[in-house]
Structure 1
Amino acid sequence: MATRRPLVLGLTALLAVGLSACAKSTSDVQNAQSTGTAGGAGGQSGQSVTVLVSADTNIQDLWTKQLVPGFTKANPGIKVNINFDLHGEHDAQNAAKLAAAVKGGKDVGFDVIDAGFVTQAAGANLLLKEDATTLPALAQVNKTLVEAGKGYGVPYRASSVLLAYNTTKVKTPPKTLDELLAWIKANPGRFAYNSPKSGGSGQSFVTTVLDANMDQAASDKLRTTYDKAAMAGWDKGFAVLKGLNPYVYGKGVYPNGNSQVLQLLSSGQIDMAPVWSDMFVTAKTNGQIPASVSSAQISNPSFTGGASYLGVPATTTHKDAAQKLLEYVLTPDAQAAIATQIAGTPVLPLASLPADVQKKFEQTAPETMRPTYVSEVSNDLNNQWDQKVPGQ
């Protein structure tokens, strides 16, 4: 999850493209591969399920090395096929194919979708409805994450933005946004955040400042709706951000991307920054960030986060097998594997997971996660920040 840029695929565009007759077939997806149980093409009982995975190679490895082996061990009669689309290069075509298939009442060729367009497909009623009745484990998942799936997308891994800090320089980290802003001004040049267009950790910091300086109802609306009237409430927050220019790293230098922020932290050029939880945990585990760098979450408001969603096409012909796979992904064993393999924040309560996972994610508990704006709103945020904030 390195780039952290929102998918720009509006609901109207999804439907318009979906009703065209030019979608590429799933066989065109790059790097397609299959894994599954022994016992014939359909498994011992003839069941199979095909998962479309549209992501980076770390998510491909998660499925092929952890989730699929775990699922087929628990369900030896079901074969799992993975169709992999590197970086989501064929998202538009696959979203179009999904829309056309559902409209025509036909099977789309994949039974579970792990892609950025799942929530858009959910909003377009292209997926099977999911709730605690069909998936009892959903009752344990953070309500905010479940609601963001619009009743059709199933959250299965998450991440949030945290405040990372050098413990040798910062003995008591800020606990609230107001305390953080005061610390930045009291310690010129020791805080950095990347430009919001270049990565989600910087975008989260900007979003949090905007939220703190606008009406709560307007802020909430922007998490579900593109509303220009609500976005008019950003002016005060952008003024606060512009006022930070003399105090951030390089007196107004904004790193290009999440990784550059981590590099500044690890090299000691800054003492504090917003960072993605999974990137931070992975870098700590790999020794890329010194042990002296720790993390915490602020409040009033907290930084934002969100989940990745799975969806089942409404016209799948392998509903039972697909549903069993969703059930497995929401088990403690699968959630622990996600935490171990890619440092993804589990969506189940941490108390239900092993002690080592609880400790690793104690600062990123899914029940405290605060969602970000919808993608179209975030795009406007990026553009307005470019115009209103950088420079003295």
Structure 2
Amino acid sequence: MKKGLGILLSLALTVGILLTGCSSDGAGSGSPQKITVYTVAGGDEYYKDVLVPMFEKAMKGKYKVEYGRSTPQELINKIKAQGKNGNIDVVISGVDALPIGMKQGLWEQILPKYGKELHADELNELSQAYVKKFDGYGIPNKTGPAGPVLAYNKDKVKQPPKTYEELKQWVKKHPKKFMYAAVPSSGPSRAFFFGLAQSMGEDYNKVESLNKTWSYLEEIGQNIDLYPSKTSDSFNYLYDGTVDIIPHSPLWAAMLKATGTLPPNIGLIKLTDAKTVVDSHFYVMPKDLPEDRKKAALEFIGFALSKEAQAQQLATGAIPSNKNATPDLILPQYKDDYKKIIDSVIPEFKDGDMMIIPKGDGVLFPDPDPMNQIYKTWEEKIQSKK
């Protein structure tokens, strides 16, 4: 009897161990499968606070998202160090980490292979252009105007410059009252630079030809005190009256105005002698994920690119990449936020109740190699003089 009982206990223990082992990754145990999502492009106010809870609720306990932040280079290094044992499933990238990872063979080419799952046929025109530019290794989540626009102190500047030439003349007459943040680290300053190259009739993808652009920056640089490393520092210098004009970003400024962060004496004006530089965020998937994790990653990205999820970005001051994501799809709790934002957008970037980039007005960021060369040359020619 004792021997039989011992055999039964031993058998029960063995079965228990086997069952525990089978369910250690969450599969088959009723516990949610983990999806690890990292952003190297910021955007917590949408990705972390809106999208992730919305996805988890819609999946009814199937998935649990682990959300993290990093810088582009730190994340690239982490993925390379982890190799095939990595734990990152989805990366949200700007126009920096995507091409760097492509060059190093880190990303899965998700389009056209997964176009149906990822709503590729619903992408707007500028998003399609970015898909083509990066050979389908990333799919845009949003495409918005980075500039060039100027923010100015309405109490001090009664007739703000509307062109780069007018700005140059204004800077001459008002030394030390214009500033822009460091080009390599500031979105509005990058748009200011790429807009300047356009206004000079030069191609920013051909860095060796940017003679007029560099001459312009050297000339106005004689009347600029410093180039802050952070965009937010240039905002503060404008707000406290140290300077009277800086580059800004139209929807970022609208968001700040809607939330009461932008002082009421700050105005915004688009520079008319350059097309709008289009910035973007992308969903990217590391290469060679195990099939179960790849399936989960694609399900997350597919949900994130649905018109229902995309529409919620409108309330954070972003233009969705899905052309069918319209204001009527915004959830009730975000509708007031969107109304405040759309009321704060300058006329050039809205049409009725929609934020827009006017058709034919958008240009893409340069390719990675010329962009890095521009950053290096700007540091050598311009920043080093301070």
TM-score (norm. length: structure 1) = 0.69
What fraction of aligned residue pairs are identical, expressed as a percent?
19
Name the SS for the 1:244 alignment partner.
Answer: helix
**1:114 corresponds to which of 65, 75, 92:** 92
Do the aligned residues in 2 keep the contact of 1:128 with 1:313 (CA within 8 Å)? Answer: no
- The CA deviation at 1:348 is 4.1
**2:286 corresponds to which of 310, 313, 316:** 313
Match of 2:379 in 1: 386
- The CA deviation at 1:95 is 3.1
Name the SS for the 2:111 alignment partner.
Answer: coil
CA distance in 2, matches of 1:327, 1:134: 6
Match of 2:38 in 1: 53
- Residues 323, 171 of structure 1: alpha-carbon distance in 2 compared, 3 angstrom cutoff: farther
User: For each residue in 1:210-236, what CA deviation from the matched residue of structure 2 results, as whole angstroms up to 9, or x when unmatched?
Assistant: 3433544xx3xx2xxxxxxx3210122
- Residues 295, 125 of structure 1: alpha-carbon distance in 2 compared, 3 angstrom cutoff: same
- The CA deviation at 1:48 is 3.6
Q: Which amino acid in the other structure matches residue 321 of structure 2?
A: V
CA distance in 2, matches of 1:284, 1:73: 31
- The CA deviation at 1:311 is 1.4
Name the SS for the 1:347 alignment partner.
Answer: coil
| Aligned-residue CA RMSD (Å) | 3.7
Indicate yes or no: 2:319 matched with 1:352. no
Indicate yes or no: 2:305 matched with 1:330. yes
Any runs of at least 4 consecutive aligned residues in structure 1 with deviations exceeding 6 A, and if so which? 43-47
- Residues 146, 171 of structure 1: alpha-carbon distance in 2 compared, 3 angstrom cutoff: farther
Do the aligned residues in 2 keep the contact of 1:54 with 1:91 (CA within 8 Å)? Answer: no
Match of 1:238 in 2: 214
Q: Which amino acid in the other structure matches residue 280 of structure 2?
A: A
CA distance in 2, matches of 1:365, 1:43: 46
**2:179 corresponds to which of 178, 186, 192:** 192
- The CA deviation at 1:239 is 0.9
Q: 1:130-169 alignment to 2 at 5 Å?
A: 130-131=111-112, 132-136=115-119, 138-140=122-124, 142=126, 143-158=128-143, 160-161=146-147, 162-169=149-156
Do the aligned residues in 2 keep the contact of 1:189 with 1:270 (CA within 8 Å)? Answer: yes
Match of 1:365 in 2: 356
TM-score (norm. length: structure 2) = 0.70
- The CA deviation at 1:293 is 1.4
User: For each residue in 1:249-286, what CA deviation from the matched residue of structure 2 results, as whole angstroms up to 9, or x when unmatched?
Assistant: 4xx54334312211122123333211245653444344
Do the aligned residues in 2 keep the contact of 1:49 with 1:322 (CA within 8 Å)? Answer: no
Indicate yes or no: 2:111 matched with 1:127. no
Q: Which amino acid in the other structure matches residue 365 of structure 1?
A: I
Match of 1:206 in 2: 193
- Residues 253, 311 of structure 1: alpha-carbon distance in 2 compared, 3 angstrom cutoff: closer
Q: Gaps spanning 5+ residues in structure 1: where?
A: 1-39, 102-106, 223-229
CA distance in 2, matches of 1:297, 1:348: 25
CA distance in 1, matches of 2:61, 2:357: 33
CA distance in 2, matches of 1:76, 1:119: 35
CA distance in 2, matches of 1:235, 1:385: 12
Do the aligned residues in 1 keep the contact of 2:310 with 2:325 (CA within 8 Å)? Answer: no
Name the SS for the 1:204 alignment partner.
Answer: helix
Q: Which amino acid in the other structure matches residue 239 of structure 2?
A: S
Q: How many pairs align?
A: 331
Q: Gaps spanning 5+ residues in structure 2: where?
A: 1-24, 329-337, 350-354
Do the aligned residues in 1 keep the contact of 2:276 with 2:357 (CA within 8 Å)? Answer: no
Do the aligned residues in 2 keep the contact of 1:304 with 1:369 (CA within 8 Å)? Answer: yes
